């Protein structure tokens, strides 16, 4: 049967076949070129420092806060994180620490964590109206859908509280009364290890270099958790006539299907209305150092309200990491995003571990006493007194990191799309 269908095509003249197919091939190549990420003339996001610094304990501080959302039963894991960040950073810089919970704090949690934070901590409860289903959502239907998501094996999707958390961090977080007096935040999670000394003030450097968002790890999102998130965000982007920036291009895998057939691809998950696909890359938001004024802008808040009305925080499992990442790609200049590649960081099973900078460990510094290193210095290392083994800089694929850094670096893998 197939041979009968192919046989007539073999009889067609070559020039006719070429004349028919050439316009489609040319259109696809042009389409791919339009989505290529421009290569910058120079590195646009170098590390702020590439060796230990003498901590400037008397310098001006930014209006910033360390923030952790935790629950009473996570006392040990929360205490581990605060112990780690205090010994590796905050013992020199003394930024306040804000703990958030959707339930009243236990006296023991407050007592233990306040001691670990050396009295710098405050404890707040998220208002109930910011940790619940939004108006207009069919609550019974949402709860049933959450149950079904859990049964399908989507990570955390069967937990109602996890959906509330994703919605809260995606929008309501930035309007929280307890945070309104601050401009910058450093997001922390229970069960985190910082494995290098952080001897400079990242908030000051972010402000000095006009950055709005900082991250450590970039990964793929769990695709089945948010099949319609990218379409919703791309629709809003087009509706608001927002220009396409390099970072948005880096998050899109353009379709190889020629126009006009490409639009049929829009029926598939993770696609925009033209049929191009989100590659699922995003910043892992359990670590964020960011300017809250960026997320408080009218543009971002309008985007969040648009997404909130779509219902995807409950009828799918739209994560705050994906929402933040796509919003930053859409609304920020790539040069405003910073990779803290000099930070040693571990959460769950994933880590980032820079090698120690050769000749840059300040062995005679009195302020750095207690920040002993157990890892050797290595050529091209940028870490400060890192305890982790810098011979393995990470334990996760680097594909997304390479893609999301492509708008700001001239060092790219051969497979990257560049122009």
User: pLDDT of 130-163, one tens digit each?
Assistant: 999 999 999 999 999 999 999 999 999 999 999 9
Residue 210 tokens read as 């006009």
Q: Which of 221, 277, 288, 387 is catalytic?
A: 288
Cα distance between residue 193 and residue 80, in whole Å: 8
Comparing 361 with 21, the larger pLDDT belongs to 361
Sheet bearing 192-194, strands edge to edge? 192-194, 345-347, 350-352
Is residue 16 predicted with pLDDT exceeding 80? no
Confidence (pLDDT) at 25: 82
Whether 388 contacts 353, CB under 8 Å? yes
Q: What is the mean pLDDT of the chain?
A: 94
Q: Residue 361 and residue 54: Cα distance in Å, rounded? A: 10
Please tell me the distance from the alpha carbon of residue 362 to that of residue 356, in angstroms, as a whole number.
11
Q: What is the dihedral of CA 337, 343, 348, 350, to 10 degrees?
A: 80
Share of the chain above pLDDT 90, in %: 89
- Token pair in block for residue 373: 């290193």
pLDDT score of 374: 72
Q: Name all contacts of 308-312 with Cβ < 8 Å and 24+ positions apart.
A: 308/134, 308/167, 308/171, 309/134, 309/136, 310/228, 310/232, 311/137, 311/142, 312/226, 312/228, 312/229, 312/232
Range 129-139 burial, b when 16+ CB lie within 10 A, else e: ebbbbbeebee
pLDDT at 419: 64
d(CA 161, CA 159): 5
Could you give the count of Cα atoms lying within 13 Å of 83 in the half-sphere of its Cβ?
9
Q: Which of 96, 33, 103 is nearest to 71 (CA)?
A: 103
3-state SS, residue 203: helix
Helices 229-239 and 298-310, packing angle to 10 deg: 130
pLDDT band at 2 (very low <50, low <70, confident <90, very high): very low
Which DSSP string corresponds to 279-325?
A: --EEE-TTSEEEEHHHHTSHHHHHHHHHHHHHTHHHHS---HHHHHH
pLDDT digits (tens, 9 = 90+) for 81-121: 999 999 999 999 999 999 999 999 999 999 999 999 999 99
Pick from 213, 219, 217, 225: nearest CA to 300: 213
CA distance 378 to 366: 23
Alpha carbon 355 to its chain centroid, in Å, reads 23
pLDDT for 21 equals 73
With cut-offs at 50, 70 and 90, classify the pLDDT of residue 22.
confident
pTM: 0.93
The answer on pLDDT for 190 being more than 60 is yes
Peptide bond into 260 cis (omega under 30): yes
Whether the pLDDT of residue 299 is over 80: the answer is yes
pLDDT in tens, 373-385: 778 999 999 999 9
State mean pLDDT over 201-212.
98
* Range from 24-28, 166-170, 336-340 carrying the lowest mean pLDDT: 24-28
Residue 54: both structure tokens together: 């003498």
**Structure tokens, 133:** 């289903």
Question: Quick one: tokens of 358?
Answer: 């050769």
User: Which is more confidently placed, 413 or 398?
Assistant: 398
Distance CA 164, CA 55 (A): 39
Q: Is the pLDDT of residue 411 over 90?
A: no
The alpha-carbon radius of gyration of the chain (Å, integer) is: 24
pLDDT above 70 covers what percent of the chain?
94
Q: Could you give the CA distance from residue 206 to residue 92 in angstroms, rounded to a whole number?
A: 18
| Residue 47: strand, helix, or coil | coil
Max Cα distance, the chain (Å): 85
Q: Span 197-206, mean pLDDT?
A: 98
Residue 93: name the closest of 117, 124, 111, 114 by CA: 117
Tokens of 29: 């190549």
Is 288 noted as a catalytic residue in this protein? Answer: yes
Is residue 60 over pLDDT 80?
yes
Quick check: 334 pLDDT over 60?
yes
Mean local confidence (pLDDT), 210-238: 97
CB neighbours of 412 closer than 8 A, spacing ≥ 6?
Answer: 39, 402, 406, 418
CA dist 88 and 85 (Å) reads 5
Separation CA 169–CA 174 (nearest Å): 8
What is the arithmetic mean of pLDDT over 194-209? 98
The DSSP element (H or E) to which 263 belongs, if any, is: none
């Amino acid at each position: 049967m197939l041979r009968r269908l192919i046989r007539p095509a073999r009889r067609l003249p070559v020039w006719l076949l070429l004349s028919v197919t050439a316009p489609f091939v040319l259109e696809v190549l042009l389409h791919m070129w339009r989505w290529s990420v421009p290569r910058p003339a120079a590195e646009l996001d170098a590390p702020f420092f590439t060796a230990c610094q003498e901590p400037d304990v008397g310098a001006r501080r930014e209006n910033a806060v360390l923030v952790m959302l935790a629950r009473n039963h996570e006392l040990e894991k929360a205490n581990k994180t605060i112990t780690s960040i205090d010994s590796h950073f905050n013992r020199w810089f003394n930024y306040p620490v804000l703990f958030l919970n959707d339930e009243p704090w236990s006296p023991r949690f407050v007592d233990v964590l306040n001691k670990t934070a050396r009295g710098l901590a405050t404890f707040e409860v998220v208002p109930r109206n910011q940790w619940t289903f939004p108006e207009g959502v069919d609550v019974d239907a949402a709860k049933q859908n959450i149950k079904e998501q859990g049964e399908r094996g989507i990570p955390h999707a069967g937990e109602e509280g996890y959906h509330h958390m994703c919605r809260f961090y995606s929008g309501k977080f930035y309007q929280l009364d307890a945070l309104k007096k601050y401009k910058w935040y450093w997001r922390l999670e229970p069960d985190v290890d910082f494995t290098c000394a952080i001897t400079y003030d990242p908030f000051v450097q972010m402000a000095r270099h006009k950055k709005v968002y900082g991250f450590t790890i970039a990964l793929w999102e769990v695709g089945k958790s948010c099949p319609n998130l990218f379409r919703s965000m791309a629709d809003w982007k087009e509706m608001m006539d927002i220009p396409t920036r390099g970072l948005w291009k880096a998050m899109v895998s353009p379709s190889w299907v020629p126009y006009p057939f490409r639009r049929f691809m829009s029926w598939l998950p993770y696609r925009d209305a033209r049929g191009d696909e989100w590659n699922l890359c995003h910043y892992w938001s359990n670590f964020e150092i960011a300017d809250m004024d960026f997320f408080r802008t009218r543009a971002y808040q309008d985007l969040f309200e648009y997404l909130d009305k779509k219902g995807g925080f409950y009828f799918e499992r739209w994560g705050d990491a994906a929402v933040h990442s796509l919003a930053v790609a859409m609304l920020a200049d790539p040069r405003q995003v910073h990779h803290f590649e000099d930070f040693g960081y571990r959460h769950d099973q994933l880590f980032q571990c820079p090698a120690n900078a050769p000749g840059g460990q300040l062995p005679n510094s009195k302020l750095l006493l207690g920040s002993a290193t157990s890892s050797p210095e290595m050529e091209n290392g940028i870490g400060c007194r890192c305890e982790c083994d810098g011979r393995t800089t990470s334990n996760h694929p680097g594909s997304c990191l390479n893609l999301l850094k492509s708008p700001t670096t001239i060092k790219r893998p051969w497979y990257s799309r560049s122009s």
